Structure 1
Amino acid sequence: MAEILAALKSVVDALGATVLLPIIIFVIALVLGARPGRAFRAGLTIGIAFIGINLVLGLMLTTLGEVAQAIVTNTGMQRDIVDVGWPSAAAIAFGSSVGLWVIPLGILVNVALLFSGLTRTLNVDVWNFWHFAFVGSLVVAATGSLGMGLLAAALMAALSLVLADWTAKGVQRFYGVPGVSVPHLASAQIVPLAILLNWILDRIPGVNRIRVDTETVQRRLGVFGEPIVMGLAIGLVLGLVAYAGSADAGTVVTKSLQTGMNLAAVMLLLPRMVRILMEGLIPVSEAARDFVQKRAGDREIHVGLDSAILIGHPAAIASSLILVPIAILLSLVLPGNRIILFADLAVIPFVVAMAAPIVNGNVFRMVVIGTVTLVVGFYVGMALSPLMTTTAASSGFAIPANATGITSVVDGFLYIPWVVIRLTQGLGLVGLLLVLGGVAALLLAWRRAPRAMERLAGADEPAPEAALPATVAPGRPLAGRP
C-alpha cells in the first residue's frame, strides 16, 4: 500500500498542478456526461488559464519579493525565526508521513461528504491538499501519532469543503465566477475573523462611513483611477519606499518605474487569465448541474478551485500591496516578535482575498482586517515554529543558517491550524473530537440557515459589474454556450 501511495505522490509531484488539473477536469467532465470533445477542450483551456495565472503571479511574487527584501535590508531587521515561504511549507507537508496519505484521504473525504449530500463542493484542487497535510504533520510532531495526524488532515479537508460551500455565493457574486467555490484553507480561514471585524467596523461612528473601493476611485478619478494606473502608482510608491536610501537616485527611479510597470501589468493581466479560466469551466459547470438535476433535483454542485482565481480583482491586489509595508512595520514594532518576513510577503493577496465579498470590495476594511489577521499571525507563527521546524528536519528540509526556527505566512500564520494543534497537544483524541464537533456545528448552522450564513459571507450585495467575466453576460444563465 505504501508503494502505491508513494507512486501516486510521485506522479502528482512530477506532473504539477498545471498538468494534473486539466486531466482531472477532463475525467470529471466525462463522468458528469459532457461530450468528449467538449470535456477535452474544457480541461485544456483551464490548464492554459492556470499557466497564464501562474506566469502573472510569478511576475507579482518576484516583484514584491524584491521590494520586501530591499525594505528588510534598509531596516536592518534581525530575527531568529525565518519566513521560508509557502513552497517550502508545501514541500515539508508533502514530504511528511501524512503527505504520503493526504491525496487519497482528501478525495475520500470529498466523495463521502458530496455523495451523502452534506456538502456541495467537488474539490479538483488536488495540489492544495498540502494544506491538510501541513496541519496533520504538525499534529504528528506534537503527539507522535500518525493516526492522529491523518485524522487532523481529514478534518481539515472537511472544514475546507464546509467553508467553501458557505462562501460560494459571496465569491460567485463578488468575483463573477459562477459555479465555483474556493476550498483553499489558507484563504477561507479569514472568513470568520472578517465577519466579526466587519460587524465591529459597522458600529464605529465615522469609521463605518469610510468607503474606499476601486469602482468609486475610478469614477472619481477617471483614467487615473483605472486598475492599471492604480497598480502603477502603488508600485511607484512601493519602489520609492523600498529603494530610497539604498542606491543612487538613478537606480531608485529605474527600480521604482520597473516595480510600477510590473504591478500595472499584473492588474491588467490577472483578470484576463481568470476570464479564460471561466471559459473552460463553463462546460464543466453545466455538466455538473445537469448531472445533479437528473439525480437530486435542484441541488447545486460547485467546482472547488485554487484561490488564485480571485486575486486578480483590483480590490484584492490594492489592499495586498498596501499590506506589504504594514506587515514589515508590524514585524518591527510588535512586542516580542522573533519573525523576519521575507519569502511569503508576496502571498498576502491569498490571505485577504476572501474578505472582499464580506466588505463588498471596501479596500479600507480589507486593509484593517488584513492587519489584524497579520498581527494574530505573527504570534501564531512563533507558537507553531518549533513544531514546523521539527517537521521540516524530519522531512529533510535544511534550516537556514543563523535561524533557530522557520515559519511561513501560508500556513504557519493561520489560527485554525494553531487551534487544532493546541487542542490535540493538550487533550489528545478528545481535542480532535472537539475539532470534529466544531466542524459539525458549522456544517449544521450552514444547512439549517443557509441564507443567513450566505448573507454573513457577502452573498446579498449587488454584484460589481466589473467582476463579471467577459464570457458571461450580467443576468444571463450559463446554459446555451457552445
Structure 2
Amino acid sequence: MNQVLQATYVAFRALMGAGAVVILPIIITIVGLIVRLKFSKALKAGLTVGIGFAGINLVINLLSTNLGPAAKAMVQNFGIKLDILDVGWGAIAAVTWSSPIIPILIGVIFLTNILLLVLKASDTLDVDIWNYHHMAIVGVMVYFVTNNLIYASLAALFMAIITFKLSDWSAPLVEKYFGLPSISLPTMSALSSLLIAVPMNWLLDKIPGVNKINFSIKDAQKKFGIFGEPIMLGFILGAVIGLLARYPVDKVLSLAVYMAAVLVLIPKMTALFVEGLMPISEAATKFTQERFKGRKFLIGLDAAVIVGDQSVITTALIVTPITILMAAVLPGNRVLPFADLAVITFRVAMIVALCNGNLFKSIIMGIFTTGAILLAGTATSPVLTALAKSTGLNLANGSQISCFAATSLSVSYLVYEVFVSNVMITLPILIVVLAACWYYFGHVRKLKGIMEEAS
C-alpha cells in the first residue's frame, strides 16, 4: 500500500511539475469529452488553449524579464533599505508543492469544488489545478505553526470555499469587461484584491468630485491621438521606468520597445486562447441545458488570461514604481519589493474590471492593495521564512523572505490568522468583508447590468 501511495505521489508531483501549459490542455480535452465533443475537436480545443496559454506566458515572461530588473534597479536607486526580501511567488509555490501534506490539501480543495457543484452552492468547475497552491499554502503554513492536520485541512477548505464563491460573484466582470463568457477565475492572487477594491470602489463613488473622474485607455486615445494608443503608452511608460532605473539610453529604448510589444502582443495571444475555449464553452452550455435545466457552469481558469488587457498592463506599470516608493515610507512595512513587482498585473486585473477600465480608480485601489500586501507580508514573514528553510530553500543566515502571494494576500492572511491566533478579531472581519462582496455582486449590481451601472 505504501508503495502505491508513494508511486501516486511521485506521479502527481511529476504532473504538477510540468506546469499549467501541460496540465491545462489535458484537462480541457477531458472536459470536452465529458460535454460530448468528439475526441478530435476536444483535443484540438485543448491544444489550442494550451498554445494560447503558452503564448500568454511567453509575453508575460517578456514583461517579467524586462520589467523585473528595471524595478530592482529602481529599488537600489531610491536607496530603499528593508530587511525582508520579496523572493517571488514561484519560490513560495515550490515550497507549497514540497510540503508532505500537499496531496491531502489538494484532495480537500478538489472535493470541496465537487461538493459545492453538487450542492449548487457554486457554479465554478476549477480546471486550474496548478493554482491550487494559492489555497493550499494557507493550510501548509497553518500546519507548520500548529502541527494540526485538521486545522490545516479546514484552512484549505475555507480558502477553497472563499475562492470559488469570489469566482462566481466576479464572473460577470470577467464576461462583461474581458469578453470571456462562461469563465470564472479562481486564482486567489487576482481575486484577493476584491476584498479591498469592492468597499473602496463604493467609497470613491460616494466622494463628490472624485466620483466624476473617469479616465480610460479609450479616453487617452481620443485626447492624445497616436500617443494614447496602447503601443505608444507602452513605449512611453517603458521609457519612464527605464529612466527611473537610470538605465543607459540604449537600455531605456530597449525597455520601451519591449513594453510596447507586450501591450500589442498579449491581446493577440488572448484571442488564440479564447478561440480554443469557444468550442468547449458552447458544448458545455448545451450539455448543461440538456441535463441541468436552469443551471450554468463556469469553467475556472488561470487569471493569466486577463492580465494582458491594455488597461491592466498600464495600471500595473504605473503602480509598480509607486509601490517601491511606498515600501520605504509605509509605517510598519519591512518588505523590500523585488521579484514579484513584475506580477502586479495579477493584483490589479480584477480591480480594473471592477472599475470598468477607469485608470484613476484602478491606480488608487491598486496602491492600497499593494500596501496591504506589504503589511501582511511583513506580519507573516517569520513563519514563511522558517517554513521555506524547513523545505530546503537556501537562504542566507538571518535573512527573512516574503512575496506578493501566499499569506501576503488579504484573504489568505485573514484565513491564516483565524486558525493560528486572532480568531475573535479576524473571523468577524473576514465575514463582514465577504458579506459586503456578496451584497455588492449579488444584489446591488445585477449580473446582466453590472458593467453598465459601473460606467
Matches within 5 A, 1:58-457: 58-243=61-246, 252-399=248-395, 401=396, 403-426=398-421, 438=431, 442=435, 445=438, 451-452=442-443, 454-455=445-446
Distance 1:199 1:440 in 2: 13
Residues 151 and 458 from structure 1, CA distance in 2 versus in 1: closer, same or farther, beyond 3 angstroms? farther
Distance 1:441 1:413 in 2: 18
Range with bigger deviation, 193-202 or 302-311: 193-202
Q: What is the letter of the counterpart of residue 307 of structure 2?
A: I
- Contact 2:199–2:436 at 8 Å: present in 1 too? no
- Contact 2:16–2:23 at 8 Å: present in 1 too? no
Please state whether the residue corresponding to 1:460 is helix, strand or coil: helix
Aligned residues: CA RMSD: 2.6
User: C-alpha deviations, 1:326-384, integer Å up to 9, x for none?
Assistant: 01101111123221111000110100100112111011111100111122221111111
Q: What is the letter of the counterpart of residue 452 of structure 1?
A: H
Deviation at 1:298, TM superposition (A): 2.5
Residues 442 and 169 from structure 1, CA distance in 2 versus in 1: closer, same or farther, beyond 3 angstroms? same
Residues 450 and 315 from structure 1, CA distance in 2 versus in 1: closer, same or farther, beyond 3 angstroms? closer
2:42 aligns with 39
- Contact 1:170–1:454 at 8 Å: present in 2 too? no
- Contact 1:123–1:183 at 8 Å: present in 2 too? yes
Deviation at 1:427, TM superposition (A): 6.5
Distance 2:453 2:49 in 1: 28
1:9 aligns with 12
- Contact 2:230–2:264 at 8 Å: present in 1 too? yes
State the number of aligned residues. 452
Distance 1:319 1:204 in 2: 22
Deviation at 1:422, TM superposition (A): 1.5
Distance 2:327 2:56 in 1: 30
Residues 25 and 338 from structure 1, CA distance in 2 versus in 1: closer, same or farther, beyond 3 angstroms? same
Residues 7 and 295 from structure 1, CA distance in 2 versus in 1: closer, same or farther, beyond 3 angstroms? same
Distance 1:402 1:68 in 2: 25
Please state whether the residue corresponding to 2:406 is helix, strand or coil: coil
- Contact 1:380–1:414 at 8 Å: present in 2 too? yes
Range with bigger deviation, 376-385 or 450-459: 450-459
Deviation at 1:228, TM superposition (A): 1.0
Residues 57 and 403 from structure 1, CA distance in 2 versus in 1: closer, same or farther, beyond 3 angstroms? farther
Please state whether the residue corresponding to 1:406 is helix, strand or coil: strand
- Contact 1:420–1:431 at 8 Å: present in 2 too? no
TM-score by length of 2: 0.93
Distance 2:360 2:422 in 1: 40
Residues 336 and 136 from structure 1, CA distance in 2 versus in 1: closer, same or farther, beyond 3 angstroms? same
Distance 2:408 2:271 in 1: 31
Residues 81 and 443 from structure 1, CA distance in 2 versus in 1: closer, same or farther, beyond 3 angstroms? closer
Q: What is the letter of the counterpart of residue 459 of structure 1?
A: I
Q: What is the letter of the counterpart of residue 422 of structure 1?
A: E
Deviation at 1:190, TM superposition (A): 1.2
- Contact 1:267–1:314 at 8 Å: present in 2 too? yes
Distance 2:437 2:203 in 1: 25
Residues 349 and 116 from structure 1, CA distance in 2 versus in 1: closer, same or farther, beyond 3 angstroms? same
TM-score by length of 1: 0.88
- Of 31, 39, 49, which aligns to 1:28? 31
Please state whether the residue corresponding to 1:344 is helix, strand or coil: helix
- Contact 2:198–2:437 at 8 Å: present in 1 too? no
Deviation at 1:404, TM superposition (A): 3.0
Please state whether the residue corresponding to 2:339 is helix, strand or coil: coil
1:480 aligns with none
2:452 aligns with 461
Q: What is the letter of the counterpart of residue 204 of structure 2?
A: L
User: C-alpha deviations, 1:79-127, integer Å up to 9, x for none?
Assistant: 2211010100101111113323333332211111112211111111010
- Contact 1:46–1:280 at 8 Å: present in 2 too? yes
- Contact 2:21–2:53 at 8 Å: present in 1 too? yes
Distance 1:147 1:303 in 2: 29
Please state whether the residue corresponding to 1:337 is helix, strand or coil: coil
- Contact 1:357–1:459 at 8 Å: present in 2 too? no
Distance 1:24 1:431 in 2: 40
Residues 463 and 337 from structure 1, CA distance in 2 versus in 1: closer, same or farther, beyond 3 angstroms? closer
Q: What is the letter of the counterpart of residue 158 of structure 1?
A: I
Distance 2:12 2:155 in 1: 19
Deviation at 1:426, TM superposition (A): 2.5
Deviation at 1:198, TM superposition (A): 1.2
Please state whether the residue corresponding to 1:100 is helix, strand or coil: helix
- Contact 1:83–1:342 at 8 Å: present in 2 too? yes
Q: What is the letter of the counterpart of residue 169 of structure 1?
A: P
1:469 aligns with none
Please state whether the residue corresponding to 1:43 is helix, strand or coil: helix
* Gap runs ≥5 in structure 1: 245-251, 465-482
User: C-alpha deviations, 1:224-257, integer Å up to 9, x for none?
Assistant: 211111100110111111115xxxxxxx211111
